[in-house]
Structure 1
C-alpha cells in the first residue's frame, strides 16, 4: 500500500508537464495530489513513530516533491506592519452574491461589500459577479466589467483605485468562463491585470452529491473541462507575451497548483504569492474531503511579496485571497 501511494505521488509530479489533451485521464490525478501527500505523510509517521523503522520510500518521494508539499501547506507566513507599502490585491469568486440562496443568509451582498471596504484593496478582481442592487463598491473610482454568457448576467470585474488606461476581454466561445485584462497606471508604472475564471468542472462541494452522480459521466466531464482549460490558458499566454507591461494574473483557475495549466502560467515569469508569504493550507474553495486551493494571485518574479492571507469568511463557496506586493 505504501509503494502504491508513493508511486502515485511520484507520477503526479509529472502532471504539470503532461498536456491534458494528450492524456486527459492522467490530468484528473492532479485533483487527488493533496490526498496522496497526506497519505504518504501518514505512512512516514506510521513507520518511524509507531514501528520505529526507517521510512525511506515515502521520505524520498516527499523530499523529491517538496514544492508540491509547500503548495499544500506552509508552516510560517510573512506579513508587513506597514500596510501602506506596495499595492494590495484581492481576488474573490463571489458566486453571484448568493443569488440562489446557497448560503442561509439574506445579507450576503451587503456582507461582501462591507468585507471589501474593510480590506480596502487597491485592485479587486471578482469572478461570477452579478449586478446586485444591494452591493456597494462606490469606493472604487475605476471599474471594468465584462459579461461572457448568453444571458448577460454573470461577469468578470476589475475594480481599481488607480486609472484604467486600457481594457479588454479574451471572449471565450460557448462558455460563461472568461479572462479579462486591464492596464492600470500606478504612480510612474503601468501594470496589466488579468482576471481569470477558467473552465469549471461543475463539481459540487458536497461529497454526498458527488457520490450520487454517475462516475463515468463525472470523469468524462472533468476530462473535457481540463482540455478546455488548456485551450484557454494557451490563449492567455499568447496574449501575455504581447503585453507591453508586467503582468499580474489572479482569479479562479478551477484547478490546483499541481496542474498543467497552473505550471504553464507560472512559467511566464510569475510567482505564487501564497508560496512566498502564505501560511497553513491556503484553502480557497469549500470542499468536504480535503483543503482545496484553486484561486491564485500570481505576480512577476522581481516583485517582493510583502503579505498574503486567506480570509475564511463564509460568503461564497470560495474564500477571498489577499496579497500585498512591492513593485
Structure 2
C-alpha cells in the first residue's frame, strides 16, 4: 500500500514537473515575440528566474531518488543554458584601471520626496552613497529636481516632464557634455534622454532609459492574490507601451554612428523582447563581469530590470550591483574602457 501511495505521489510530482518544464521551454521564445502582439506572454518573462530554479530543484529531487525523470528538467535547463548567466554568475571580473570609466545607473524613486520610506534621512544616504562610489557618469531615473539636491558634478543634463514639473531624468558627468536631448515619450511619465560626453579624444553617447513602469507594489499587490487580475491588466498595457517606446528608441539610436553606452531601468527582464532589441550588438555588463544574483529590483524573487550595456568598442572590467535599500531599485555600476583597437 505504501509503495502504491509513493508511486502516485511521484506521478503527481512529475506532472507538476512536466508543466513547469514545458512553460520554461516555451519561455525561450519570448525574446522573439513583441509585446504588442502578445502582451500576456510578456508577463511570463518575469517568472523565468523562478521557473529555472524550479526545474533545477526538480532535477535534484529525481537525482536523489535515482529516477530517470531527472532527464526532463535537466534537458530543459541545458537547452536554455545561456539564460542562467542573466540570473546568477558564479564568478565575476575585477580589473581596476586608473583611466577606466565608472558608470552608475540608479532609479532613486524621487529621493523619497513623497515619503514612501518613513526614514527621513534616505535622500541624504543616497547622496552619500553616490559620493562615496564616485562614478564618472551617473544616470538617474525617477529623478526629482528639488532645491536640496546634493549631487556635485561639473556637467549635467536634467530633463523634467514639463517646465513646472520637477519629476524626470538626469545624467551627471565628470566629462564635458557637448550635446544632449530627450526623446520626449508621449502619454507617459517615463522618458529616454541622451548625452554626448567627451573623454580624451572620444565622443561617447550615453543613453539614459526609463521604459513604461509596470507598477508592481510589493507591499500591496502580488501575483496570485485577490487583486492580481487588475495587476495583470495594468501590466499588459505597460508592456505594449514598452514595445512602442523601444521602437522609438531604436529609430533614434540608428541615427548615431559613434560609440555608445545604454543605461537605465527597462522595467523588463533580460528574457524579454524589449531587452533583446535594445541589447542587440551590445554587451551586458552584468553577464560579462558581474557576480552572484543580478537582482536590481526589491521584490520577493530576483528581478534584474536595470542594465548597463556598452557597445563592442568597450571592454567591461568590473560590474557591481549594490545591496542598499534606499529605493525600490538597487544601484548598479560598471567599470569599462575603450578597447585598444578603438583608442
> Structure 2 length normalisation: TM-score?
0.90
Picking from 307, 313, 325, the partner of 2:324 is 313
Aligned: 1:175 with 2:191: no
Who is 2:140 aligned against?
126
Task: Give the C-alpha shift of residue 212 in structure 1.
Answer: 5.6
Task: Give the C-alpha shift of residue 205 in structure 1.
Answer: 2.3
Aligned: 1:156 with 2:164: no
* Contact 2:21/2:55 (8 A) holds in 1: yes
Instruction: State the alpha-carbon separation in 2 of the partners of residues 77 and 238 from structure 1.
Output: 34
Instruction: State the alpha-carbon separation in 2 of the partners of residues 50 and 135 from structure 1.
Output: 59
Who is 2:262 aligned against?
249
Task: Give the C-alpha shift of residue 134 in structure 1.
Answer: 3.4
Aligned pair in 2 of structure 1 residues 208, 24: CA closer, same or farther (>3 Å)?
Answer: closer
* Contact 2:104/2:137 (8 A) holds in 1: yes
Instruction: State the alpha-carbon separation in 1 of the partners of residues 257 and 335 from structure 2.
Output: 23
Task: Give the C-alpha shift of residue 151 in structure 1.
Answer: 5.6
Task: Give the C-alpha shift of residue 43 in structure 1.
Answer: 0.5
Aligned pair in 2 of structure 1 residues 207, 31: CA closer, same or farther (>3 Å)?
Answer: farther
Aligned length: 323
Task: Give the C-alpha shift of residue 77 in structure 1.
Answer: 0.8
Task: Give the C-alpha shift of residue 208 in structure 1.
Answer: 5.0
Who is 2:114 aligned against?
100
Aligned pair in 2 of structure 1 residues 135, 64: CA closer, same or farther (>3 Å)?
Answer: same
Aligned pair in 2 of structure 1 residues 242, 24: CA closer, same or farther (>3 Å)?
Answer: same
Question: 5 Å matches for 1:220-299?
Answer: 220-267=233-280, 269-288=281-300, 290-299=301-310
Instruction: State the alpha-carbon separation in 1 of the partners of residues 183 and 244 from structure 2.
Output: 12
Instruction: State the alpha-carbon separation in 2 of the partners of residues 255 and 51 from structure 1.
Output: 38
For structure 1, which segment, 184-193 or 52-61, has the greater mean C-alpha deviation from structure 2 after superposition?
52-61
Who is 1:9 aligned against?
24
Report Cα offsets for 1:36-87 as digits up to 9, x if no partner.
11110110110112445462111111111112111011111111243x2310
Who is 1:110 aligned against?
124
Instruction: State the alpha-carbon separation in 1 of the partners of residues 67 and 223 from structure 2.
Output: 39
Instruction: State the alpha-carbon separation in 2 of the partners of residues 184 and 164 from structure 1.
Output: 4
Task: Give the C-alpha shift of residue 88 in structure 1.
Answer: 0.7
* Contact 1:149/1:175 (8 A) holds in 2: no
Task: Give the C-alpha shift of residue 114 in structure 1.
Answer: 1.0
Task: Give the C-alpha shift of residue 214 in structure 1.
Answer: 2.8
Task: Give the C-alpha shift of residue 217 in structure 1.
Answer: 2.2
Who is 2:6 aligned against?
none
Task: Give the C-alpha shift of residue 148 in structure 1.
Answer: 1.8
Instruction: State the alpha-carbon separation in 2 of the partners of residues 312 and 240 from structure 1.
Output: 32
Q: Which runs of 5+ in 2 are unaligned?
A: 1-15, 339-343
Aligned pair in 2 of structure 1 residues 208, 224: CA closer, same or farther (>3 Å)?
Answer: closer
Instruction: State the alpha-carbon separation in 2 of the partners of residues 58 and 199 from structure 1.
Output: 34
Secondary structure of 1:102's partner?
coil
Task: Give the C-alpha shift of residue 207 in structure 1.
Answer: 6.2
Instruction: State the alpha-carbon separation in 2 of the partners of residues 23 and 217 from structure 1.
Output: 18
* Contact 1:197/1:251 (8 A) holds in 2: yes
Q: Which runs of 5+ in 1 are unaligned?
A: none
Who is 1:184 aligned against?
197
* Contact 1:74/1:281 (8 A) holds in 2: yes
